[in-house]
Chain A
Amino acid sequence: MRHFSLRTLLTEAANAHQGWARQWRAPEPKPAYDAIIVGGGGHGLATAYYMAQEHGMRNIAVLEKGWIGGGNTGRNTTIIRSNYLYDESAAIYDHAVKLWEGLSQALNYNVMYSARGVLMLAHNQHDVQSFKRHVYANRLNGVDNEWLTPEQAKAFCPPLNISPDIRYPVLGGALQRRGGVARHDAVAWGYARGADALGVDIIQNCEVTGIVRGSDGAVTGVETTKGPIRTPRIGVVAAGHTSVIMAMAGVRMPLESFPLQALVSEPVKPVFPCVLMSNAVHAYISQSDKGELVIGAGTDQYVSYSQQGGLHITTHTLDAICELFPQFSRLRLLRNWGGIVDVTPDRSPIIGRTPVPGLFVNCGWGTGGFKATPGSGHVFAWTVAKGEPHPINAPFTLDRFRTGRLIDEAAAAAVAH
């Protein structure tokens, strides 16, 4: 792997940028691997990277039916935060934030992590009480979060309308300063480049069509559009399509897949300094480095794999945005799109073993998986490599739906549920 540095850049600049090589190979699949990761999104690529980097598993492959980072990794609103209510959630999301903080250096690839602060607005007494509870719970877990008055919120986010006569006046907000955004494509590319350099085969345009099991029930390989591949371990990281992949092994999942939409405005000069979200009026917004306002809408109410949602969902979100930021009502929208998110009954992910020996799953991240990408990959790599969960993902079992030990973040999620 060619090390990227200022010197590399200057060398290439002097060379009219003719020397840049492809950053990962495009190998054909081998007949067998020690492990296969199904799904080449951020979580899958991070999993493969950490399996190779921390657990020495170099003879592994990532199978992606389209192109890497082309699913939810390339469709989300790139928000990073860890201000979750419960201890288990705070542990895994803050594990991710700690990895985000050093990720560009670790990967030698600029993922453009920008800790510009995530401000969550309270519009009613219930919000105020709930968010203050979050602030205190987060602090007990060592996760930064602080309460702002409306005036302090306005000072932190000047475009915000804190007038008391709007439909849902701002009563305050909870601010996580370590929260922010990162460049989603760069996350996929950085992990792909790092994993490839460690020997991982990243195989694109290779759809898994079947999971092969031996007479003892354990997995022995996969069927793909590029032929059969043998492997004793499979890690499924397929987001919205997890139920479809798991059904190939005869495993039913506590998941429903819904469309989730996002949209961007035309690019404008820097006008928005942070990430702002509001549960009550259902809006979240930030500004990309290109200048587009990035806006997240909610999920549609019905199960779908169509990667498009209803226009009334985005309209509802834009109503809220224009109420909080009247000046944005003149902006034109550049495009909107949908992704398919896999949602669990308790809105927490499932990361761990399955009833099928050799088959592991990392799914159920719902509407908020991007923020967890490094942490998710890190603990899932441990799980697949060692055959048992890392302490951080130990509570996030599939079996919790039987035991009843749910991690009920439904009321704690930002928006979209």
Chain B
Amino acid sequence: MLLVTCPHCGARPEIEFRYGGEAHIARPADPSALDDRQWAEFLYFRSNPKGVYAERWNHAHGCGRWFNALRDTASDAFLATYPAGQQRPDLGGGR
């Protein structure tokens, strides 16, 4: 089980959290301006990398708030967690 550090509550076991998929995918400001290809891209297409991934988590059985995390999907190690709305942190080192 992962140990997830909620930016508001601290480190808690994974079963307190719900996963929210890839982070930083903003809902289009003007959906009707999108063609089907772009709408499908927003809805369904994900980067799904083997490596550093920005993803959303919800501390469902804690503070209830959404936040984002950077995690290495090859090792499952968390590199950073940060409140929703903040920019993805630059970890440097070519990551």
Kindly list chain B residues whose C-beta atoms are within 8 Å of the C-beta of A303: 21-22, 48, 53, 55, 73
The CA-CA distance from A306 to B43 in the complex, in Å, is 26
Shortest Cβ gap from A336 to chain B (Å): 14
Looking at A100-108, A198-206, A239-247, the stretch in contact with chain B turns out to be: A239-247
Mark each residue of chain A from 287 to 323: 1 if its CB lies under 8 Å from any CB of chain B, else 0: 0000000000000011111101011100000000000
B-facing residues in A191-246 (Cβ within 8 Å): 241, 243-244
Number of interface residues of B (CB under 8 A): 27
Looking at B25-33, B34-42, B82-90, the stretch in contact with chain A turns out to be: B34-42
Query: Which of B2, B36, B49, B73 is close to A402, meaning CB atoms less than 8 Å apart?
Result: B36
Mark B residues whose CB is within 8 Å of A. Answer: 1-2, 14-15, 18-19, 21-22, 36-37, 40-41, 43-50, 53, 55, 71, 73-76
Kindly list chain B residues whose C-beta atoms are within 8 Å of the C-beta of A253: 45-46, 48
| Chain A-chain B contacts (Cβ-Cβ < 8 Å), number | 69
Known: A254-B45, A345-B43. 13 other contacts (CB 8 A): A243-B46, A252-B41, A253-B45, A253-B48, A254-B46, A257-B73, A301-B19, A302-B55, A302-B76, A303-B21, A303-B48, A303-B55, A312-B14
CB-based contact A402/B76 at 8 Å: no
The CA-CA distance from A305 to B55 in the complex, in Å, is 15
Mark A residues whose CB is within 8 Å of B. Answer: 241, 243-244, 247, 252-257, 301-306, 308, 310-312, 345, 401-404
Shortest Cβ gap from B57 to chain A (Å): 8
Shortest Cβ gap from B74 to chain A (Å): 5
CB-based contact A306/B75 at 8 Å: yes
Kindly list chain B residues whose C-beta atoms are within 8 Å of the C-beta of A310: 1-2, 14
Shortest Cβ gap from B62 to chain A (Å): 16
CB-based contact A305/B44 at 8 Å: no
CB-based contact A312/B40 at 8 Å: no
Q: Which of A244, A301, A310, A312 has the most CB of B within 10 A?
A: A301
Shortest Cβ gap from A409 to chain B (Å): 15
Kindly list chain A residues whose C-beta atoms are within 8 Å of the C-beta of B71: 302
Kindly list chain A residues whose C-beta atoms are within 8 Å of the C-beta of B50: 241, 244, 305
Kindly list chain A residues whose C-beta atoms are within 8 Å of the C-beta of B36: 402-404
CB-based contact B45/A252 at 8 Å: yes
Query: Which of B14, B21, B49 is close to A243, meaning CB atoms less than 8 Å apart?
Result: B49
CB-based contact A256/B40 at 8 Å: no
CB-based contact B44/A302 at 8 Å: no
CB-based contact A401/B48 at 8 Å: no
Assuming the contacts A244-B49, A255-B48, A402-B36, asked whether A305 and B41 have C-beta atoms less than 8 A apart, the reply is no
